[in-house]
A and B are shown apart, each in its own frame.
Chain A
Amino acid sequence: MSAQVVIFFVLALIAVFGAVSLIVQRHPIHSALSLILVMVALAGLYLLMGAEFVAAVQIIVYGGAIMVLFIFVIMLLNAGVEERTNLSRLAFYAGIPLAVAVTALIAAAIVGSKAATALPAAAPDTLTSTRTLSMLLFTEFVYPFELTSFLILVAILGAIVLAQREN
């Protein structure tokens, strides 16, 4: 096995461990830490695929801004450990077959589809430079780019309005 496949399996195991830990942990802060672990593992996978700028943006924006927002909200709302009601116990044990079924269905759909089988078996080792991405972003995708800046402005205004005190 080449070194890349080994690194892929290590990072994939860390990501799956983080996702399972998100479900299993009872305190939301521990779930948030597991999600951060998943995101860092995914950033490693992006680096393995040669998408260096996307990996850096994933850690800076997702791991460094969005998850910090989650952790602040959990600390401010003083979220506690989840209680165990009868409904949640039933759901937890009866839900495992459902989880396996849903995952198998999605996996079969993605891997068995015509688009996936038409791809080359192993992709070449390329490194996408930031220059290529930015040329694409500002020529072909300039309308979505400007629209997302509008979207962020709307989100800022919405967050400010929501956080206002009632006078």
Chain B
Amino acid sequence: MVPTNYYLLLSAILFGLGIVAFVFKRNIITIFMAIELMLNAVNLAFVAFSQALGKPDGEVFVLFVIIVAAAEAAVGLGIIILTARNRRSLNVENVNLLKL
């Protein structure tokens, strides 16, 4: 029997690490992966609450979050490929013009 607070603490740590990766990495794909890490941390919190309250509603929400993350990854990576081809680099510091 693991206390629910342990899971919530782990979720907070992973979310914080995701924010750190999002702010401090400069490769656009790594930043995108940090977003996925944050989504995973939130999923963990959802399932922890679902187990604590005894209702399966949280797990259904996790399924929706996973589906939305998949759709977002597909479109986001398409945009990244186009931007990278245009700018010829994957460094976000190079995407600093308002017009491509």
Contacts and interface: CB of A to CB of B under 8 A. Distances in A.
Interface residues of B, number: 72
B68 to A, nearest CB: 7
Interface in A54-92: 54, 57-58, 61-62, 65-66, 69-70, 73-74, 76-77, 79, 82-83, 85, 87-88, 91-92
Nearest to A88: B26
Contacts, number: 234
Contacts of A35: 33, 36-37
Interface size class of A (residues with CB under 8 A): 35 or more
A144 B64 contact: yes
The binding surface of chain A is classed by DSSP as helix
Given A20-B17, A110-B11, A111-B9, A5 B2 contact: yes
Contacts of B77: 69-70, 73
A99 B90 CA distance: 24
B16 to A, nearest CB: 3
Contact of B1 (A88, A122, A158): A122
5 contacts: A8-B6, A50-B51, A88-B26, A137-B60, A151-B68
